[in-house]
Structure 1
């Protein structure tokens, strides 16, 4: 009998799913067996480099910082998408060039929108 051509992939997928689950199960069993639970106020307290925590740990950032980061990531990922087009520019069809032109125009529209709304002004 002949093997199914995808039998190896099914076996590989099964091992890839089972291996971490088995390891997590062994770790859970080990922790349950050899590390008895002893909750206390000292164990459940927040630890920061040996310094007793004081005040509120929550720090509020301005939304503009997140917006700068998102705009940076958008235009950083744009370069990743444009690099293959630049490498294979002479061998691309007209449809591929049109798709990249639409992509660049959408990014330019987003940049103009962010600029017009004042999101690129550092405050």
Structure 2
């Protein structure tokens, strides 16, 4: 039984060792800055540009709706891929369930489309 866990144990030991090595190398070889934090250091900085978003900024609901729709259709692809690969093995029941799933997602798409969630404002 222990033999089946041996590759996992070796992987854990090696990954922990590599992580510890990089932390120690960074501590020993990395630069040591002793600056006091200023407003420039505390400002948000993203992708090489200062952020225009202020602290109290709130995203609009359309941003969240688009994100949820992306997740919805991304999950659809994740569920449909295994069924498409092994459809003969799953049989007719899986085909019917997949069709119901796609119809429900299509109804949801029509609903959010009519509600205006796909229009970026």
TM over 0.5: yes
Matched, 1:45 2:50: no
Report the alpha carbon displacement of residue 99 of structure 1 after superposing the two structures with TM.
Answer: 1.6
User: Could you state the TM-score of these two structures normalised by the residue count of structure 2?
Assistant: 0.60
The aligned residue for residue 91 of structure 2 is: 93
Distance 1:28 1:89, change over 3 A: closer
**CA RMSD after TM alignment:** 3.8
* Aligned-partner Cα distance in 2 for 1:100–1:54: 44
Once the two structures are superposed, what CA deviation does each residue of 1:39-87 show, in whole Å capped at 9, x if it has no partner? 2127982586xx9x69766565423123223313422442454355456
How many residues align? The count is 115
Gaps of at least 5 residues in structure 2 are: none
User: Could you state the TM-score of these two structures normalised by the residue count of structure 1?
Assistant: 0.59
Report the alpha carbon displacement of residue 34 of structure 1 after superposing the two structures with TM.
Answer: 4.5
Report if the CA contact (8 A) 2:87-2:94 is conserved.
no
Once the two structures are superposed, what CA deviation does each residue of 1:62-117 show, in whole Å capped at 9, x if it has no partner? 23123223313422442454355456556652211222123123313322432344
* Aligned-partner Cα distance in 1 for 2:29–2:70: 48
Report the alpha carbon displacement of residue 13 of structure 1 after superposing the two structures with TM.
Answer: 0.7
Once the two structures are superposed, what CA deviation does each residue of 1:1-56 show, in whole Å capped at 9, x if it has no partner? xxx4x61x4111112222221122222333334458542127982586xx9x6976
* Aligned-partner Cα distance in 1 for 2:87–2:28: 62
Larger radius of gyration: 1
The aligned residue for residue 23 of structure 2 is: 28
Gaps of at least 5 residues in structure 1 are: none
Distance 1:100 1:37, change over 3 A: same
